[in-house]
Amino acid sequence: MAAGPAAHAALGGDTASIEADRAYFAARSSTTAMGGRTVHLLTLANGTVVREFARADGMVFAVTWRGPARPDLRQLLGPGFDVLQADNVLAGGRRTHRPLSVRRADLAVSSGGHSGAFWGLAYRPTLAPPGFSLRNLS
C-alpha cells in the first residue's frame, strides 16, 4: 500500500527503502547486478524512469530520474530534499532561475531539462563504493 514518504528514504536507505519507493510510485521494477553494485530500475506509469544504485550491502548511494515529470523528490531523496530546497533559493527566498543543484561534500544533485522532459541525479559521494565514478550513473 502506498504510504507517506518512508522513514528510510531511498537515498541513503536500505533495500527495504527501495521496495517502499516501488510501492509509493506504483512502479514496475527490475534489478540488474553490475560489478559489485545493483541497479534497481523503477518505471512509473507516466514513463518516468528512476534508477537506484545500491552497494553490495543494499545501501542506496545514488538515484537518477528521467521523464516527463520530476518524481516525488521528498520520497526519493529523504532528508536530502530539504538540502535541495535550501541550496536552491537566493537570499530573501528569490528563485535562482537555474536548474536545481546541490554541491556539498556529502550530497551532489544535478538536474535539467524542461517541462515535459526532466532529468536529474542525486549522489552521496561518502556512501559510494570504492572506485565508483559518476560516469557509472547511466
Partner 1 sequence: MIRALVALTTLLLLSACGGGGSGSSTPASTSVTPPTTLSNFATVTVDAGPPALDVGPNAYIQANVAYVSVTLCAPGTPNCQTIDHVQVDTGSVGLRIAEGVLSPTLLAALPQQEDSAGNPVGECYSFVDGYVFGSVRQADFQIGGETVSNMPLTVLGDAGAFSTPPRSCSAGGGANLDTVQNFGANGIIGIGVTTTDCGIACTTAGGYSSAIYYDCPSLGCGSIIARASSAAAPFQQLPNPVAAMATDNNGSILSLPAPPPPGRRP
Judged by the rule CB under 8 A, the positions of this chain that interact with partner 1 are 45-47, 67-75, 81, 84-85, 88-90, 92-100, 111-116, 118
Instruction: Compute the distance between CA of residue 120 and CA of residue 71 in angstroms, rounded to an integer.
Output: 10
Question: Which parts of the chain fold into alpha helices (H)?
Answer: 15-24, 73-77, 80-86
* Nearest residue (CB) to partner 1, 97 versus 103: 97
CB of 129 to partner 1, least distance (A): 27
Nearer to partner 1, 47 or 58 (CB): 47
Quick one: how many helices (H) and strands (E) in the chain?
3, 7
> Taking the complex as a whole, how short is the minimal distance between the CB of residue 101 and partner 1, in angstroms?
10
Q: How far is the CB of 73 from partner 1 (least distance, A)?
A: 5
Strands 49-54 and 102-103: unpaired
In the complex, minimum distance from the CB of residue 91 to partner 1, in angstroms, rounded to a whole number: 8
Q: Which is nearer to partner 1, 31 or 96 (CB)?
A: 96
How far apart are the C-alpha atoms of 130 and 77, rounded to whole Å? 22
Instruction: Please give the grid coordinates belonging to residue 121.
Output: 541525479
Residue 33 or 89 having the CB closest to partner 1: 89
Hey, what's the cell of 52? 537506484
